[in-house]
Chain A
Amino acid sequence: METVTLLQPVFDTLLGLALLWLAWRALASPDLFKAIVLFITFGLLMVLAWVRLDAPDVALAEAAIGTGLTGALLLAALTRLNSKSDAKSVHEKEQQRKAHN
């Protein structure tokens, strides 16, 4: 029991630092896919933070929405951003614009 209470501040500090570090990595990563994965990891750590703050409802919401769905949305958007058909339509647009000018 004693050790647990002693460990708690250490854990909190580590978690806080990890959150900041992950956010920083996610935002600075040159690779978009990596950035999104890091962001999802960041979300998972947020869930831990909510639990630590005695907010289980928020933790659940974060786990399901903040991490799960946002992550899925981001990955789907990235896929479409890199996909061929969209790139093709860009190309078409560009050609159309050229034809216009």
Chain B
Amino acid sequence: MIPAFLYALVGVGLFTLGLYALIIHAHLLRKILALNVMASGVFLVLVALAARTQGMPDPVAHAMVITGIVVAVSATALALVLMLRVRIATGRAELAKEPLE
């Protein structure tokens, strides 16, 4: 198996792993971590599959991932501050159970 597909599969694994953690964990910090793991998974798929070329790997996918990394860190920063504010306002760094009534 060429490493491209190996790493792409690892990316898929990270994506689902992150999704699982995102759903089961209540603590917001863990949810944010989970989202970051998911993002890493997506980036890995993007870059790994870009290596299926003869010579130089596809630079467009690399550029997309660099864009993605910056977006991810921006979102993470906002999420972390928001988490702290939620903690201050409600006393817990968790979301209340869905108010389905």
Contacts and interface: CB of A to CB of B under 8 A. Distances in A.
Q: Do A and B contact each other directly (Cβ–Cβ < 8 Å)?
A: yes
Chain A interface size band reads 35 or more
Contacts, number: 130
B95 to A, nearest CB: 15
A8 B3 CA distance: 9
A7 to B, nearest CB: 12
Interface in A49-79: 49-50, 52-55, 57-58, 61-62, 65-66, 69-70, 73-74, 76-78
B65 A58 contact: yes
Q: Is the interface of A mostly helix, strand, loop or mixed?
A: helix
Interface of B: 1, 3-4, 6-7, 9-10, 13-14, 17-18, 21, 25, 27, 29-30, 32-34, 36-37, 40, 43-44, 47-48, 50-51, 56-57, 62, 65-66, 69-70, 72-73, 76-77, 80-81, 83-84, 87-89, 91, 93
Nearest first, the 9 closest Cβ-Cβ pairs linking A and B are: A27-B21, A16-B10, A77-B80, A90-B91, A12-B3, A61-B66, A23-B37, A54-B57, A55-B62
